[in-house]
Chain A
Amino acid sequence: MIGDIAKQSLQSPRVLIPVEDLLGNARGSRIPDVCGESLSIEIARRIVDACPTSALTLAESGSAPELALNYGECIACQRCVQAGDGAVRMAANFTLCGVRKHSLIRRWNLTTRTEIPQDDPVAVDAARAIRELLKRALNIRQVDAGSCNGCEAEIVALNNPYYDLERFGIHFVASPKHADMLLVTGPVTRNMAEAVKHAYEATPSPKLVVAVGACGCSGGIFAGNYAVTGAVDSVIPVDTYIPGCPPTPAMLLTGILQTLQRR
């Protein structure tokens, strides 16, 4: 019986996705991308109105009106794509994974219809320490701080034969005491806040904390509701953020490697 399975396994076609096809790939994430050239003040108003969270905002007061898209609050609902008259599309590539919080926000000048360049992402000190200490090895402890389980479904997928996270020397461990990185999902609920703090304290330094998903980055649609404290950084310090609702395995991988500055 086991022999049959082994035989079948050897005969079946390879499904492993090459790393270059994964990094920055946004397929299936439904994350929006804005085409600056097609923007106008009317379109900007329309897509801001269509956004059910406050991910899209318009600043009309200054000398040049500015559109801002905070990916940390985006739940990938596609309303802006439908309202945007071609100025907003589903992103084919997306690299703002595993970045500092302020880097999640992109801005467009509506007068020049161009994107306002971002500061260079700042390197995370702990990432360098971990890389020097452990080279290619990384242990991750995943902590669900109140998520809907959508992010977990995608994190679990990282272990399947398509993504095979272990090829990068990265694996998931059962205890924060064995971990170099905490991958934390969910709006932090009041009922989980204490446990999340304990998990953080139990993780030895140097350590990295990555907030995952719209809820982990900003509290998502649950922000401000009575039973949640909000984003992961409302209870523990966070190094980098991976947006998405949920982020796809490709986005998660991009985010983990980018946090380590291994890409």
Chain B
Amino acid sequence: MTSSVQQEREAGMQRALDLLGQTNTRLVSIFGSKDEDGTARVHYILETSDREYRIFSGRVTGPISSATAITPAAAWYERELQDQYGIRCEGHPDPRPLLLHENWPGEVHPMNGMPKEVPWTNREYRFLRVQGEGVCEVPVGPIHAGIIEPGHFRFSVVGDTVLHLELRHFYTHKGTEKLFEGSPALNGVMIAESVSGDNCFAHAVAYCQAVETACGIPVPPRAQAIRLAGMELERILAHVADVGALCGDVGFTVPAAYNARIKESLLQASTQYMGTRFWRGIAVPGGVTRDLTATDAHKLAHAIAEASRDFVELAQMILNTPSVLNRFESTGILNTETARRMAVVGPAARASGVKIDVRKDHPTGRYRHVNVEISHYKQGDVLARARVRIDEAATATRLAIDALRDIPTGSIRSALPSAGSGEGMSAVESPRGELLYWVRVRSGNIERCHIKSPSFQNWPALPLAMPDNIIADFPLINKSFNLSYSGCDR
């Protein structure tokens, strides 16, 4: 899928750090793996100024020099390396544990092998202390007030105004990357579907494409078209739900209920024509498991068109309502420079003037044959993020309908080699942004699977949109980014 990816395996680390120092290089991911002799290897995936993905890697024999000193976007990746593999990144400004909380003994690194039993400990975790006259700390979570995933937010406020927000996540850390190890490549897709439940199809497709690249498995054009339709439908669902939730957060409950209704109509159409509400079990390495008859494809396209027409009308109404604009406009601004510095992806990047979209920059499968217009705004506020979602729902509608009206004929699934081997990666534009899977397959089993989730990349940027906003606007700002906790924590 990504044949253009260039790899440098030896002495790649220094080369990656040099490139990261240049403007127009975007950090995509940093992760570890083990060589056959058990030595750790660190991989850097970068997008260079020519908009190509490049992978660099090098063997780790001692502490490595930290990339975080060069770009703050690397901070969480290196903390993850430290937790998973015990790799020390020299010069890292914040080497606190990330995935593993107080209950986990500091000397146990899950990717290096697990002891029979891991004792429960009570290590100390220090939050950053903001001091001064009138400064108060407001801790929120891990359990939140709504039907939402868990995470902790520590606000330092003066009156209503937020001075500083510190995130503490990874409450839903399930050791997913470790769980992939040893799993048959065919079953790995079930794990991928359980990384972030509301984007499960994007995860499944990205995983399958990575395995297909690694093992050289062709995907029939018909399957590619069905995958595109599913991914765009998932985008519509996500954006409709997000815009509804934003309305709910400013007390505009009628459109919130209406959006929930539009979303449900699409889930029911999916059930009717694909047998599943969230397209679970559809993508598999080599293609898809379920075909669509011409009539069903037409009916599904019709359902999408109807839902989208209602949403367009509703969105107009929302954007013309002064009380909504009053809350959305100039709230939670993430400026372009910060968005670039933090390597932010997805709708949040496009709302802050960073015009990136995997569908356009690194198209895979059926996306190679379609034209994707990228909606982008400069303002970086809640309103811009809402507008990007509204525009993208319209683009996604067109793409999904086009794909469904013109599905190439042929098979939907190609046979798998019984024991494929190789390394491969694939990125897709999930509703939340660039989602990338990197896999190493050996004799048909997954040896290592790394997930770069857009939420892992974007969460650290959220606190940078908070200062000078009032704490009561936090739910709204948070919702406008709509990041996945489980996708981030894995």
Segment 184-199 of A: residues with Cβ below 8 Å from B: 186-187, 189-195, 199
Q: A191 touching B194 by the CB < 8 A rule?
A: no
CA distance A189 to B100 in the complex (A): 11
CA distance A146 to B37 in the complex (A): 34
Count of inter-chain pairs, beta carbons less than 8 A: 172
Q: A187 touching B197 by the CB < 8 A rule?
A: no
Q: Say yes or no for B263: interface residue by CB 8 A criterion.
A: yes
Segment 305-319 of B: residues with Cβ below 8 Å from A: 317
Q: Say yes or no for B264: interface residue by CB 8 A criterion.
A: yes
Segment 103-118 of A: residues with Cβ below 8 Å from B: none
Q: A30 touching B197 by the CB < 8 A rule?
A: no
Q: Say yes or no for B118: interface residue by CB 8 A criterion.
A: yes
Q: Say yes or no for B472: interface residue by CB 8 A criterion.
A: no
| Interface 1/0 per residue, B98-118 and A, CB below 8 Å | 010101100000100010001
Q: B174 touching A227 by the CB < 8 A rule?
A: yes
CA distance A1 to B257 in the complex (A): 16
Q: A160 touching B263 by the CB < 8 A rule?
A: yes
CB distance from B289 to the nearest CB of A (A): 8
Q: B150 touching A1 by the CB < 8 A rule?
A: no
Residues of chain A with a CB closer than 8 A to B145's CB: 174-175
Segment 35-89 of A: residues with Cβ below 8 Å from B: 52, 75-78
Q: A28 touching B172 by the CB < 8 A rule?
A: no
Q: B486 touching A195 by the CB < 8 A rule?
A: no
Q: Say yes or no for A261: interface residue by CB 8 A criterion.
A: no
Q: B172 touching A161 by the CB < 8 A rule?
A: no
CA distance A162 to B260 in the complex (A): 9
Contact A144-B150, Cβ < 8 Å, known A1-B321, A150-B278: yes
Residues of chain B with a CB closer than 8 A to A78's CB: 281, 289
Segment 140-166 of A: residues with Cβ below 8 Å from B: 142-157, 159-162
Residues of chain B with a CB closer than 8 A to A192's CB: 142, 150, 171-172
Q: A156 touching B277 by the CB < 8 A rule?
A: no
Q: A28 touching B277 by the CB < 8 A rule?
A: yes
Instruction: For A227, give the chain B residue with the smallest CB separation.
Output: B175
Segment 118-136 of B: residues with Cβ below 8 Å from A: 118, 120
Q: A157 touching B178 by the CB < 8 A rule?
A: no
CA distance A172 to B147 in the complex (A): 8
Contact A144-B148, Cβ < 8 Å, known A28-B271, A189-B173: yes
CA distance A146 to B278 in the complex (A): 19
Q: A190 touching B103 by the CB < 8 A rule?
A: yes
Instruction: For A249, give the chain B residue with the smallest CB separation.
Output: B264
Q: Say yes or no for A4: interface residue by CB 8 A criterion.
A: yes
Residues of chain A with a CB closer than 8 A to B142's CB: 192, 195
Residues of chain A with a CB closer than 8 A to B277's CB: 28, 154, 248
| Interface 1/0 per residue, B266-281 and A, CB below 8 Å | 0110110001111011
Residues of chain A with a CB closer than 8 A to B271's CB: 27-28
Instruction: For A214, give the chain B residue with the smallest CB separation.
Output: B194
| Interface 1/0 per residue, A218-237 and B, CB below 8 Å | 00111001111000000000
Q: A144 touching B190 by the CB < 8 A rule?
A: no
Contact A147-B104, Cβ < 8 Å, known A1-B317, A186-B172, A221-B190: no
Q: Say yes or no for B198: interface residue by CB 8 A criterion.
A: yes
Q: B257 touching A160 by the CB < 8 A rule?
A: yes
Q: Say yes or no for A15: interface residue by CB 8 A criterion.
A: yes
Q: A153 touching B198 by the CB < 8 A rule?
A: yes
CB distance from A186 to the nearest CB of B (A): 7
Partner of B197, one of A1, A143, A147: A147
Partner of A150, one of B170, B171, B178, B200: B200
Segment 56-101 of B: residues with Cβ below 8 Å from A: 99, 101
Residues of chain A with a CB closer than 8 A to B197's CB: 147-153, 246
Q: Say yes or no for A9: interface residue by CB 8 A criterion.
A: yes
CB distance from B302 to the nearest CB of A (A): 16
Contact A187-B276, Cβ < 8 Å, known A77-B281, A149-B197, A222-B179: no
Contact A76-B280, Cβ < 8 Å, known A220-B194, A226-B175: yes
CB distance from B103 to the nearest CB of A (A): 5
Q: B254 touching A199 by the CB < 8 A rule?
A: no
CB distance from A25 to the nearest CB of B (A): 11
CA distance A144 to B145 in the complex (A): 11
Q: Say yes or no for A90: interface residue by CB 8 A criterion.
A: yes
Residues of chain A with a CB closer than 8 A to B104's CB: 190
Q: B260 touching A159 by the CB < 8 A rule?
A: yes
Contact A28-B276, Cβ < 8 Å, known A147-B486, A148-B195, A153-B197: yes
CB distance from A228 to the nearest CB of B (A): 6
CA distance A193 to B179 in the complex (A): 20
Instruction: For B261, give the chain A residue with the smallest CB separation.
Output: A161
Q: B267 touching A157 by the CB < 8 A rule?
A: yes
Q: B278 touching A228 by the CB < 8 A rule?
A: no
CB distance from A210 to the nearest CB of B (A): 14
Q: Say yes or no for A208: interface residue by CB 8 A criterion.
A: no
CB distance from B360 to the nearest CB of A (A): 27
Q: B147 touching A147 by the CB < 8 A rule?
A: no
CA distance A175 to B200 in the complex (A): 29
Residues of chain A with a CB closer than 8 A to B263's CB: 157, 160
Q: Say yes or no for A5: interface residue by CB 8 A criterion.
A: yes
CA distance A35 to B254 in the complex (A): 45
Q: A152 touching B149 by the CB < 8 A rule?
A: yes
Q: B485 touching A149 by the CB < 8 A rule?
A: yes
| Interface 1/0 per residue, A131-143 and B, CB below 8 Å | 0000000000011
Residues of chain B with a CB closer than 8 A to A228's CB: 174-175
| Interface 1/0 per residue, B318-329 and A, CB below 8 Å | 001100000000
Q: List 12 A-B contacts (CB under 8 A).
A: A5-B255, A28-B267, A144-B150, A146-B486, A148-B172, A148-B197, A172-B147, A189-B171, A226-B110, A226-B114, A227-B110, A245-B194
| Residues of chain B at the chain A interface (Cβ within 8 Å) | 99, 101, 103-104, 110, 114, 118, 120, 142-143, 145-150, 170-176, 178-179, 187, 190-191, 194-198, 200, 254-255, 257-258, 260-261, 263-265, 267-268, 270-271, 275-278, 280-281, 289, 317, 320-321, 484-487
6 closest Cβ contacts across the A-B interface?
Answer: A150-B197, A28-B271, A227-B175, A174-B145, A160-B260, A148-B197
For the A-B complex with A52-B190, A246-B278 known, give 6 more contacts whose Cβ atoms are closer than 8 Å: A30-B280, A52-B187, A176-B143, A195-B150, A225-B178, A227-B173
